[in-house]
A = this chain, B = another copy of it.
Amino acid sequence: MVLFDILGQRWTLRILWELRLKRLTFRELRVRCENVSPTVLNTRLKSLRELNLVDHDADGYGHTSLGHELATQLATLDGWSQKWAKSLDMLDQ
Residues of A within 8 A of B (CB): 1-5, 7-14, 17, 51-52, 66, 69-70, 73-74, 76-78, 80-81, 84-85, 87-88, 91
Complex CA distance for A1 and B15, rounded to whole angstroms? 12
Chain A interface mostly helix, strand, loop or mixed?
helix
- Residues of B close to A69: CB separation below 8 A: 80, 84
Q: Which of B8, B52, B73, B84 contacts A70 (CB 8 A)?
A: B84
Closest 8 CB pairs of A and B: A3-B81, A4-B13, A8-B13, A73-B77, A8-B10, A66-B84, A4-B14, A4-B17
> Would you give the shortest CB distance from A44 to chain B, in whole angstroms?
11
